[in-house]
Amino acid sequence: MPTQLIELFKSGEGVESVDNPSAVLLYVITGTNDDLEVRATIEGNVPDTYADLPIQDYDFRPLGNGIWEVSVHYGLKKQTNQSSFSFDTGGGTAHITNSILTVGRYPANAPDCQGAIGISGDSVEGVDITVPVYNFSETHYLPAAYIDGAYKATLFALTGKVNAATFKGFAAGEVLFLGASGSQRGHDDWEISYKFAASPNMIGLSVGSLTGITKGGWHHLWVLYSSVVDQYTLIKRPVAAYVEQVYWPGDFSLLGIGT
């Protein structure tokens, strides 16, 4: 029995949109139990374009008795060397043990903890707050010849690094590379999404009586507390602040997506 490709009556459904038009053609293939023959039938007979939209992909499912259900999807396709961008300013969280300012003490002669938050015995419990973190991603469509083993190793090596130089308008030390994910589109190119988070460098910070603190965007600031007696009460006060580097710098120009 010869293989047949039959278009279904409900074929041609789609979405009309300026940014993302799409359409789906629906078929049934009969006369074979061989998935390779099904692929050849699809690729040799369905149109390359429909309603001026290029084919994106297709899928097929066996229904039994040599019958297959086929869906062919059409839509706009980003061209090689094109890019798209997205961002959000949802912020991140940080655990802090000292406030910016103590705005009230009750009673007025309560011990002065110099901003230490949640003193409990020998510990300073602190609190989790939202801090400015700018999350952004870029999707680039790059030639297949460019995405070789060495480039993939570069992506791996730069993940978890901060920018050693100015990058996308941010000063050195403000952007953390969260990694990339990609997939090859046919034999022509790759679609790769790069994810970043930016946190501002800060100067002139204060912690209690400690002033003039400079902190890089992805440095970690922690505070050393000491026990003192105030108003006949043993409390904790900040006596030193430390700024720690916890991420290595990296050369983000090696990503090849601009600086």
Whether 184 and 162 share a structural domain: yes
Q: Give yes or no: residues 97 and 50 share one domain.
A: no
The domain boundary, picked from 45, 75, 105, lies at 75
Closest CA to 141 of 78, 94, 90, 88: 78
The per-residue DSSP string of 64-126 comes to ETTEEEEEEEEE--PPTT-EEEEEE---EEEEESB-S-----SSTTS---TTB-SEETTEE--
- Residue 172 sits in the same domain as residue 60: no
Run means of pLDDT, 10 residues per run, the chain, 259 residues: 90 83 95 95 94 90 95 86 88 92 94 94 93 95 94 98 98 98 87 96 96 97 95 93 97 95
> What is the pTM for the complete model shown?
0.72
- What pLDDT does 88 receive? 93
For residues 116 and 98, is the Cβ–Cβ distance under 8 A?
A: yes
CB 189 within 8 A of CB 80: yes
Q: Which two tokens stand for residue 257?
A: 């997506």
Instruction: List the one residue out of 195, 181, 172 whose CA is nearest residue 247.
Output: 172
The C-alpha angle 25, 27, 33, rounded to 5 degrees, equals 140
Q: How confident is the model at residue 54, as a pLDDT?
A: 86
Domain co-membership, 222 together with 141 = yes
H or E element that contains 24: strand 22-30
pLDDT recorded at residue 135: 96
Q: Give the per-residue pLDDT at 20.
A: 78
What CATH number did the domain enclosing 33 receive? 3.30.70
Question: Is the separation of the CB atoms in 40 and 34 below 8 Å?
Answer: no
Assign 172 to helix, strand or coil. Answer: coil
Omega before 107 cis (within 30°)? yes
Same domain, 58 and 94: no
Residue 218 shares a structural domain with residue 130 = yes
Q: What does the pLDDT read at residue 79? A: 77
Count of structural domains, the chain: 2
The verdict on 70 and 106 lying in the same domain is no
For 55, phi and psi rounded to 5 degrees? Answer: -65, 135
Instruction: Please tell me whether residues 177 and 218 are part of one structural domain.
Output: yes
Residue 21: which domain range? 4-75
